[in-house]
Structure formats: structure tokens, C-alpha cells
Chain A
Amino acid sequence: MRITVATAVHWTRGFLQGWRVALRISGANFRARAAYRGDFVTALAMGLAWQASVLVFVTVLLTRFPGLGGWTSGGVLLIVAIRLLAHGANVMVFHPLYLVPKLMQQGALDGYLIRPMPVYRQILLYTFPLSGVGDALSAVLLFAFALTRVHLHWTPLMALYLIAAVIGGMFLEGAVQTAVSIIAFWRTMPLAVFMWFDRMIATFGNYPFSIFPLAARVVLTGVLPIAFIAYLPAAVLTGRAASTGVPVWLAYASPAVGPLLYILARYAWYRALTRYESVGG
């Protein structure tokens, strides 16, 4: 296809229009959540407190023990901080994917198919992820705390790498959620399946992989690539990339893994959508 100035302008207008609509829907979703005032305040507080509990857990342990798996307490905190930053960003964008099984069960997806907006985007705009605000806030607080403990000589390049790592982690979690939601196209899927992947990431993503046996390290790097969310970026930032057991170039390239997997997951998702059958037959 030949790209002309007219098509480029048309595409840009469509892109901006899409964003305008998305922002307006998000605003409406926010107001809808705010209508339940008690739930609104509690959701914000709980998002904050839930992630703060991770901080409490880690700091309690790291004040009682000298380190973990050869990492100092500051290094472990940096891993936790990067994972939580990525998770907070992920919740803000991708959290409604958890509702895919429910939308399938209710047959609500049928309506999405006839609206003039991509189905995937409509799902992401289903609700305002209020808990994500609390998650993101607590992640920022934890990161600020980690910075006081890790003693790194930050350079602009390192700061850029950190931002890339957080965005990469956000997309990696999003890729996993997108891929998992495909199962709902084929069969009734409980929330527990989503929660399992979420907890796997939350459970294994916070610690240096050196505490795990080799088999677990291989699975968590090559099969369910949790290592790329926080462990490998933290290893690069703290100068430990050579001791991670993966090629150094791969450790440095870890922020790119998330976006690549996300593109694949999105492609697979739309392929699966073509096989969607309404619950109504």
C-alpha cells in the first residue's frame, strides 16, 4: 500500500480520535466507580495497603537477615520495587482483562463485536482500575525507599534503562494476561486461572533467582519469563548481570522481551477471537 500525506493525516486523525474516545470512556468509568463512595475510598486505600504489605514483609525479613541469595537487602528491595512499578502500571492498563471470562459467560462480548472500536480496546476500557492507582502510588513509595538502601551511582542511561524495564515489565504481565484470556474463548474459565498466573508473578518475581534450584530458574526464565520483569533488570542496574546465569546480552535486552511477547499475544488473541462462539449459540 502506498502511503500518501492524505492517508497519513487520515490515520493520525483516527488514532487521536481513538485516544479521545478512550479518555472519555475512562472518565465515565471513573465517575461510575466514584458513585460508590465507600468502595471508592476503600479500593484506593487497599491498593496502597496491599502493596505496602509487600514492603513490610520484605523489610521485616531483610532487617532480620543479612541478605538473600547473595544479594544485599538494598538489591532485593530494588527487585521488589521494579516489579511493583511494572505491576502498578500493568494494573492501570490491563486489569480489565480479568473480566474476559465473565464477559464470555454473560455473552456481553457479542455487543462488543458490532461496535466501531477494536474489541480488545473495549475490554481494556470496561472499568476504571481504581486499585491500580493505589498500587502505583505504593510502588513509587517503595522505589523511593529502595533508592535510599541500594546506593547506586545513577546516570541518565541507567534512569532510561529503568523506565524501559518498568514499561517492559508492564507489557510482559500484559502479554501473560492476554494469552491467558484466550482460554476463555475455548472453555469456561474461572478467575482462579488468572489468579494463578498473577500469584506466580507476585510470588517469584520479588526475589533473586539465585535462591531457586536450576530447574525452577530455567522454567521462570524460558517458559513463564518472570525473570525479565524485575530480576534481570535489577541485576543489570546493580552490575550483577554476569552472575545471573543467562547471557549478559539477554539480561541487558530484558526490557524488550515484554513488548515482543505482548505483540505475539495480541496477534494470538485476535486470531482466537475469530473462533468465538456466543453463549447464546
Chain B
Amino acid sequence: MTAHFSPRLVLPPWRAMRITVIAELTQPSRYVPQLTMLVTQLALTWWLWRALYAKVTESAGLNVSQATSYALLGVLFLQFKSVDRSSNGDAMDQLMLDGTIAYWFTRPLPARRWYLIRMCGDLGYGGAWALLGYVVCRAIGAIAGPPTWAAGGAALATLALGLVITYYLQAIVDLMCFWSTINDSAVMAVQLASSLLSGAFAPLWFFPGWFQRADGFLPFESTLNTPLSLYVGRLPVSALGTQLAIQAAWCAALAVFTWWLWRRACARVTILGG
């Protein structure tokens, strides 16, 4: 199904980004746990890394300030993916099981555009939490600033592309529902892979060389490790060009793959319940 182009229809659909914000902020039982979880995760991470460095000044090329900042920024990065759609019955597998996925194909815009708009809302809402956490952590000195303005800019540029890769990875998981109906395990798999292989559990610099080399062939490292390593100064700014090229290559490959998946998915929509 193709949407008829009309300027009147271009902007209004993007207002759907607000759905996430409205859904999340209307109930304290949604944002209060998120706030407390963020605070406790940040506190634990700070205590943990300070305790680990109690008898060591440098490890894996990172000093205590760099390692703590990296780990705290890793916690903040995870906020981008913190929106819980399943509580609203709005997760992809629920839409498939309820049959409400049908509405995606009756709206005056393509399903993949609708998906993009909603995901932008999710990432924007999660990003607001991350930004809030960053400002507070910087204010209390828990996270150190980047060594130079150039490093900060490089980190921001790679973060932007890292989020694009994150979007495509999530889209692939969600699109799997068109074939498997249930994708709980796939969601877990991507969560695990993206957390472990991106450096969210622990900075990748602490992992053995073989692990880092193998990880270099996957897209996850580009989402988190690259921007954070540039931010803390573990990667020099001179490496920015190479890193951007790698990220751009992953973005292009994943974009082509998801485009192909969308085409296949749209051709085989199954509405359960008849």
C-alpha cells in the first residue's frame, strides 16, 4: 500500500512522536521507577568503579576518572532504549497477537514511516532522560568532561550515528514478529548482545584482545564504545574519520537489510483472528 503524497500529510504524522511522551508521563508508576532505577544504577556504577580502582591507578589504558565516566555514560546510553511499550500493549509482538497490526496498513502513511516516527519518539524520550542524567552527573562531578572540545564533538557525531545503528537493530528485532509472531527471546538476544558487545556492561577495553577483535566485526561496538571512547579520550580524535566511515558502512548495510525486510514483511502480514 502506498501513501498519496500531500504536504498536508507530511508534518502531522510526526506529531505521533508525542505518543511516547504522553503515555510515559501520564502515570507516575511509569516514570518514578525509571527515575529511581536510573539513580540507583548510576550510584552503583560509581561505587563499583571507585572500589575497583582502590588499589590501581590505571587499567586497560583507563584511569579511574575515565573508567567511571565511561561506565556512567554507558548507563545513560541505555536510557535511549528504556521505553516499555509492552505495558501499553503496544509492543510489536502484542500488536501481532492482538491483530491490531492491521491498522499500520490502513493509515495514510507507510507502515515503515509510522514505525520510524514512533521509534523517534521513544529514542527522543529516552534521550531526554539520558541528557538529564548527564547534566546532573556533570554538575556533581561524577562524570568528567571530554579532554577537548574536539573530543566532545567527535563523541556527539559518533553518538548520532550510533543511535541510527541502534534504531536499525531494534527494527530488525521487531520485524522478526512478522515471521515468528513471538519475539521475546529475540528481544532478549539483542538486549544481551547490544549490552555486552557494545560495552554497556563493562568498557570493552577491559576485555581480552580476541574478544575486541571479534567484536570489531559486529555493529554493536559502534553504538556505544566508539562515542564513549572518544569522549573519555581513550580513542584519539584523529581516529574520528575511520570510526565515522565504519559507522556509516553499518548504517548503509542495516538500512538496506531493513528495507528488504519491510518489503518482505508487508507482503506477508498475518492478522490473527481472521
Residues on A lying within 8 angstroms of B by beta carbon are 36, 38-39, 42-43, 45-46, 49-50, 53, 56-57, 60-61, 64-69, 101, 105, 131, 183, 187-193, 195-196, 199-200, 203-204, 207, 210-213, 216
Contacts and interface: CB of A to CB of B under 8 A. Distances in A.
Contacts of B53: 65
Nearest to B36: A196
B41 to A, nearest CB: 6
Contacts of B41: 199, 203
The 4 tightest CB contacts between A and B, nearest first, are A42-B185, A190-B87, A211-B51, A196-B33
B49 to A, nearest CB: 9
B259 interface: no
Interface of B: 27, 29-30, 33-34, 36-37, 40-41, 43-44, 47-48, 50-53, 55-56, 59-60, 84, 86-87, 89, 180-186, 188-189, 192, 195-196, 201-202, 206-208
Given A42-B189, A61-B206, A190 B29 contact: yes
B186 A216 contact: no
Given A45-B185, A196-B37, A199-B41, 8 more contacts: A42-B185, A64-B206, A69-B51, A131-B185, A187-B29, A192-B29, A192-B33, A211-B50
Contacts of B55: 65-67
12 contacts: A49-B189, A53-B195, A60-B208, A188-B29, A190-B84, A190-B87, A192-B87, A195-B84, A196-B33, A203-B44, A207-B48, A216-B47
A105 B36 CA distance: 25
Contacts of B84: 190-192, 195
Contacts of B186: 42
Nearest to B196: A53
A65 B52 contact: yes
Nearest to A187: B29
Nearest to B82: A192
B52 A50 contact: no
Nearest to B59: A64
Contacts of A199: 37, 41
B201 A53 contact: yes
A36 B186 CA distance: 13
A131 B44 CA distance: 26
A195 B33 contact: yes
Contacts of A190: 27, 29-30, 33, 84, 87
Contacts of B87: 101, 190-192
A212 B47 contact: yes
B138 to A, nearest CB: 21
B201 A191 contact: no
B52 A60 contact: no
Contacts of A36: 180-182
Nearest to A49: B192
A131 B181 CA distance: 18
Indicate the member of A56, A57, A64, A105 with the most B CB atoms within 10 Å: A64
Contacts of A213: 47
B185 A39 contact: yes
B33 A204 contact: no
Nearest to A190: B87
A68 B52 contact: yes
Nearest to B93: A39
Contact of B30 (A42, A192, A204, A211): A192
Contacts of B48: 68, 207, 211
Indicate the member of B27, B51, B60, B183 with the most A CB atoms within 10 Å: B51
Given A36-B181, A61-B52, A50 B192 contact: yes
Nearest to A36: B182
A57 B34 CA distance: 24
A204 B29 contact: no
A66 B56 contact: yes
